[in-house]
Amino acid sequence: MRCFLILILLLLYLSMFGSAERFNVSIVNLDLIPREVLFGNPDKTSVLLSQDGTRISYLAPVNGVLNVWVSPVDSPEAAKPVTNDTYRGIRSYDWAYTNEHIFYYQDKNGDENWHIYSVNLTSGEIKDLTPFENVQARMYTKSIKFPTEVVVDLNKRDPRFRDLYRVDINTGNITLIKNNTEEFSTFRIDDNYSVRLAQKMTTDGGEDLYKANKTSGWDVLLEIPAEDVLTTYLLGFNKTERSIYFIDSRERNTAGFYIFDLDTGNKTFLTDDDSADISDILMHHIERVPEAAAFTYERKHWKVLNESIAGDLEYLGDVADGDMEVVSRSLDDKYWIVAYVVDTGPVRYYFYDRNKKKARFLLTNRKELEGQPLSKMNPIIIKSRDGLDLISYYTLPLKSDENEDGIPEEPLPMVLLVHGGPWSRDEWGFDPLHQWLANRGYAVLSVNFRGSTGFGKNFTNSGDMEWGGKMHEDLIDSVNWAIRRGIADPKRVAIMGGSYGGYATLVGLTFAPEVFACGVDIVGVSNLITMMETIPPYWEPEFELYLTRVGDNRTEVGRAFLKERSPFFGVEKIVKPLLIAQGANDPRVKRNESDQIVQAMQKRNVPVTYLVYSDEGHGFARPENRLSFYAAAEAFLAKNLGGRFQPIGNDFNGSNMTVPIGVEFIPGLAKALNKET
């Protein structure tokens, strides 16, 4: 009787989400990993040390909302929350040099008008240091010489340009340092809070570096060509503050690490790597001496620059599996917080005593991941049609590859995940999206298409003017690679991504409708012309970057080019189901980007489901909203690709999601919405 009931349930499942020939029977007995485990709040994350090394802090939930917790180093079990956010959750924070204050950042419903708050750990007082409406504040720098003061920048005077202010964290008093009347894009400030350097983009997409002179004017110190802008940048001053550390790709491909003498203009080489740009640097806080540099090609590896740290890295390399990161250091450098990233489990944090050469386990960020049926992430190099190496990562469902040769026993439905940016990259490690989709029966592929960063300027620059062009072709080439290799079923491939990845999703369904069975677009651009016309005002100082790398909306030729590369103008080619999710307050990709393509699809009666989040911006910060989105996306993919499906259940509870269009296209969506209302 029990076997008969299982058979009936299986047949019912197949009737809802696909035929028996589309169902991957090999994984049917695997446990479904609950969405809450993958996309809910972490247990503890963003672990930091106080500057004096006596206390540990981290983000953890209080009544379901992320807040900052603090404990003595030797008694982590005595941790207590020191902030009281009750809605959106805190995602970024830092310690002040006083060791008695913590800074954190918060916006309103995703509008990115960040406020900077300070918490007095003795009194418990929380103070808004930048209490200005419709103004974006950023922490610019802090100095050991002025432990009770920090420098922030505000676009209060002019929403396009940021002025510099000095803020007292005890009183909240704010004093102007520099009015940015020269319209610089950024500044460099030393430990005395003197403005020393500034940068400004040129009309050809390059950048000039200026040095302040004694008459309060500015002299051009060096010129950065457009081809080097994304791979050449300043770091911090050295101890003398007469030189500055510098990542420089000029006259080379992968960026090298240098120290640049501000008086003579001479630069001294420190290190580089032929395959990748620098991805991380360990720098001594007090001595300002670089000790090690990391490079990430397929995986992260470290190069020692100062022998004083060689023994530490050798010891830490044996403490735990995974890619090692030093995430926090005490000011005297006696104590470190070290994290280990793996692909099949949570991040593991350790407290490291350098004098004793001993690491003590602290915590993991998601304990419930332990024991879950997680799949390994496989690095792979895929060749583009014109010969570029595309560093990619794919994940297969457990039990789909019995002989462990990296190829499933039969081709699987596949989801192509496209990263945002596009000037960013995918990396190896635990990825909740990969694990979620693999657990549901899909192969998952992430591709560092041309234009991605970290692989040298030639690779990044090969994406210039290629939105919807060769960047799209790289994704198609990667899908074809997966089909040829026997990983992907050519009739069941989905494309999914956020921001640029959302744009790529719309491009995929518009420019290559025969390739994809469906698409999931999260805050994606549909019309490059309207995107360029509605950028946030504080992006204007760097707008030439977009004009020279995406297209120029100011000219007739440029607008024609952008129109050609915009999915909105080819919407008549969309014939496959589409799920679109949008934050109503997104300042980067305005809601109209989603509204206009949804309306165009409606006119053509093409299936589209539209999710709108009234309290989100460029992505989903609140776990309630994340869970509701992934619940809907999971049902959508199951219907169109035939994978496994966890019922929506209570995953809409607490979310502000509305579905103005397309409820009928996702199984269980109408019922869950009615239950919620």
3-state helix, strand, coil in the chain (%, to 5): 25, 35, 45
Structure token pair of residue 604: 């053509």
Identify the pLDDT of residue 591: 97
DSSP H helix total and E strand total for the chain: 13, 36
Count the neighbouring beta carbons within 10 Å of the beta carbon of residue 175. 10
Q: Are 395 and 377 in contact (CB under 8 A)?
A: yes
Euclidean distance between CA atoms 103 and 97, whole angstroms = 11
d(CA 342, CA 345): 6
27 close to 614: Cβ distance less than 8 angstroms? no
Residue keyed to tokens 């190099």: 381
* Tokens read off for 313: 């890295």
- Classify the phi-psi angles of 654: left when phi > 0, otherwise alpha if psi is within -120 to 50, otherwise beta: left
Helix (H, G, I), strand (E, B) or coil at 338: strand
Residues 334 and 353 sit within 8 Å (Cβ to Cβ): yes
For the record, the structure tokens of 598 come out as 């949804």
d(CA 25, CA 20) in angstroms, rounded, equals 9
615 to each of 424, 570, 619, how far by Cα in Å? 26, 31, 10
Total residue count of the chain as it appears in this document: 677
Report helix angle 500-511 to 470-484, nearest 10. Answer: 70
- For 130-157, how does the pLDDT look when each residue is reduced to its tens digit (9 = 90+)? 999 999 999 999 999 999 999 999 999 9
CB 528 within 8 A of CB 557: no
513 to 474, 506, 622, 629: CA distances (angstroms): 16, 10, 33, 24
**Domains in the chain: ranges and CATH:** 2-30+375-527+566-676 (3.40.50.1820)
Q: What is d(CA 151, CA 167) in angstroms, rounded to the nearest whole number?
A: 6
Half-sphere exposure of 599 (CA within 13 A, CB side): 7
Half-sphere exposure (Cβ direction) of 621: Cα atoms closer than 13 Å = 24
Beta carbons within 8 Å of 307's beta carbon, 6+ residues apart: none
Catalytic residues: 499, 586, 618
| Residue spans of the chain under pLDDT 50 | 1-25, 677
- The rounded distance, in Å, linking the Cα atoms of 448 and 344 is 21
Q: C-alpha 169: how far from its chain's center?
A: 29
3 state SS of 15? helix
Residue given tokens 């007739």 in the structure block: 556
Spatial CA neighbour of 84 closest among 115, 57, 119, 109: 119
The first and second tokens of residue 330, run together, are 């005490």
Cβ–Cβ under 8 Å, residues 278 and 297:
no
Amino acid at 37: V
If we measure between CA atoms, which residue out of 145, 455, 160 comes closest to residue 295? 455
**Region for residue 668 given its phi and psi (left: phi exceeds 0; alpha: psi -120 to 50; beta: otherwise):** left
- Residue 20's SS3 state is helix
pLDDT per residue over 444-488, tens digit each?
999 999 999 999 999 999 999 999 999 999 999 999 999 999 999
Distance CA 116, CA 151 (A): 11
Note whether 397 and 407 are within 8 A (CB).
Answer: no
Q: Could you tell me which of 57, 53, 83 has the C-alpha nearest to residue 70?
A: 57
Contact 67, 60 (CB under 8 A): yes
User: Which structure tokens are listed for 665?
Assistant: 């296209």
Task: Identify whether 422 is preceded by a cis peptide bond (ω within 30 of 0).
Answer: yes
Cβ atoms 615, 629 nearer than 8 A: no
